[in-house]
């Protein structure tokens, strides 16, 4: 499935050391970088849940050096594709690689879950069901009834509840509760919409998540939150790539997203 808009997509360079072909209508994209045993534990949990009966699994690596993204090892754990970003950028660049790949392979929708094993993957079939039902964007939330957030660092919890989610609620018009979480689902039709235009180099670090939370509801797309469970380790450093400098960039990104600075050129 291709269309003329693909010619305008700005996608970082990436290699594809593993691709076993599409078998499902939907895929689960897992961004990783040096996740060690965490990505193995997540994939083992997904195997035990028969996730591959609902979605093909695609791992997009941002440049791991610890061997955790070895294609042969990941294939043994049910992964159908491994993409390795070789171009510049961080999380948003990884996601642009994976989403462009998935759309070009004809997937009708994409679920994304972080590769650091903080998220319980059991709701993935619920995300797929929502996408099949016509929802354009599904957001996982630990704050909904039935969801859970365990051992969440207090500053992160405070910032999500009192800054990030309220700002995006007000700016987007949708009642988001958990806007920094990467456990999401997107329809292919929405990602291909030139009014959304996610395949732009402006989305290089952490901009894409906030932008889509702002832009998609404002375009009238159907959005939904589903309860999810996110667990941080009870002790030791949290498995996250967001440090103090990244928090400052996240706040700047939030302001830019909520004021339309990331909207496509010429967008109303």
Domain that holds residue 129: 4-258
Distance of alpha carbon 133 from its chain centroid, rounded?
Answer: 20
Chain centroid offset of residue 95 CA: 7
pLDDT tens string 130-168: 999 999 999 999 999 999 999 999 888 999 999 999 999
The predicted pLDDT at position 237 comes to 58
Average pLDDT (174-192) is: 97
Strand partners, 110: 27, 186
Mean pLDDT value of segment 24-36: 97
φ, ψ of residue 121 to 5 degrees: the values are -80, 0
Of 235 and 36, which is predicted with more confidence? 36
pLDDT interval class at 233 (50, 70, 90):
confident
Residue with tokens 């995006």: 168
What is residue 198's three-state secondary structure? coil
Give 43-73 pLDDT, tens digit per residue: 999 999 999 999 999 999 999 999 999 999 9
Over residues 101-123, mean pLDDT: 97
Check: CB of residue 83 under 8 Å from CB of residue 97.
yes
User: Which contiguous run of DSSP H or E holds residue 78?
Assistant: none
Residue at 102 is within a domain? yes
Tokens matching residue 66: 């610890």
Q: Cα(129)–Cα(124) distance, rounded to whole angstroms?
A: 9
17 close to 101: Cβ distance less than 8 angstroms: no
In this predicted structure, the answer to whether residue 12 has a pLDDT above a threshold of 50 is yes
Give the list of residues 6+ apart from residue 184 with CB closer than 8 angstroms, or none: 111, 112, 127, 137, 138, 139, 140, 209
- Is the pLDDT at 223 greater than 70? The verdict is yes
> Does residue 239 surpass a pLDDT of 60?
no
- Does the pLDDT of residue 244 top 60, yes or no? no
What is the pLDDT, as a whole number, of residue 1? 46
DSSP 51: G
Instruction: Indicate whether 267 belongs to any domain.
Output: no
| CA dihedral of 109, 114, 117, 121, whole degrees rounded to 10 | -20
75 token code pair: 């294939």
Task: Specify if 143 maps to a domain.
Answer: yes
Residue 26 CA, chain-centre distance (Å), reads 14
The neighbouring-strand residues paired with 114 are: none
What is the pTM assigned to this prediction?
0.93
268: pLDDT confidence band, cut at 50, 70 and 90? low
Cα separation values, 166 from 147, 159, 171, 259, Å: 19, 10, 9, 14
Distance CA 226, CA 2 (A): 31
Looking at residue 250, its pLDDT comes to 83
Percent of the chain with pLDDT over 90: 87
Q: Which tokens sit at 56?
A: 């093909």
Q: What is the pLDDT of residue 249?
A: 82
Q: For residue 96, what pLDDT is reported?
A: 98
Gap between the Cα atoms of 134 and 143, Å rounded: 24
Sequence-ordered alpha helix ranges (H) in the chain: 37-48, 71-76, 91-104, 124-132, 154-159, 165-172, 188-192, 207-218, 244-258
Q: Do the domain assignments include residue 268?
A: no
Residue 237 is part of a domain; what is its CATH number?
3.90.550.10
**CA quadruple 183, 187, 190, 191: dihedral, nearest 10:** 70
Split into its structural domains, the chain has a count of: 1
pLDDT tens digits for range 70-92: 999 999 999 999 999 999 999 99
């Amino acid at each position: 499935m291709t269309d003329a808009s693909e010619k305008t997509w700005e996608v970082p360079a990436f290699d594809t050391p593993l691709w076993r072909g599409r078998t499902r209508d939907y895929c689960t994209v897992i961004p990783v970088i040096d996740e060690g045993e965490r990505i193995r534990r997540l994939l083992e949990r997904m195997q035990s849940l028969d996730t591959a009966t609902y979605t093909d699994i695609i791992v997009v690596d941002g440049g791991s050096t610890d061997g955790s993204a070895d294609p042969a090892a990941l294939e043994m754990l049910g992964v159908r594709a491994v993409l390795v970003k070789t171009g510049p950028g961080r999380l948003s660049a990884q996601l642009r690689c994976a989403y462009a790949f998935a759309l070009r392979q004809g997937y009708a929708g994409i679920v994304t879950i972080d590769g650091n094993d903080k998220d319980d993957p059991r709701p993935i079939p619920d995300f797929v069901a929502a996408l099949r039902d016509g929802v354009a964007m599904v957001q996982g939330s630990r704050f909904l009834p039935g969801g859970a957030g365990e051992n969440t660092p207090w500053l992160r919890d405070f910032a999500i509840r009192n800054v990030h989610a309220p700002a995006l609620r007000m700016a987007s018009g949708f009642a988001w509760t958990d806007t920094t979480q990467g456990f999401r689902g997107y329809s292919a039709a929405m990602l291909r919409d030139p009014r959304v235009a996610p395949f732009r180099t402006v989305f290089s670090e952490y901009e894409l998540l906030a932008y889509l939370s702002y832009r998609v509801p404002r375009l009238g797309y159907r959005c939904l939150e589903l309860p999810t469970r996110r667990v941080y380790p009870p002790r030791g450093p949290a498995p996250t790539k967001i440090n103090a400098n990244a928090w400052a960039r996240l706040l700047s990104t939030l302001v830019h997203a909520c004021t339309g600075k990331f909207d496509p050129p010429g967008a109303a």
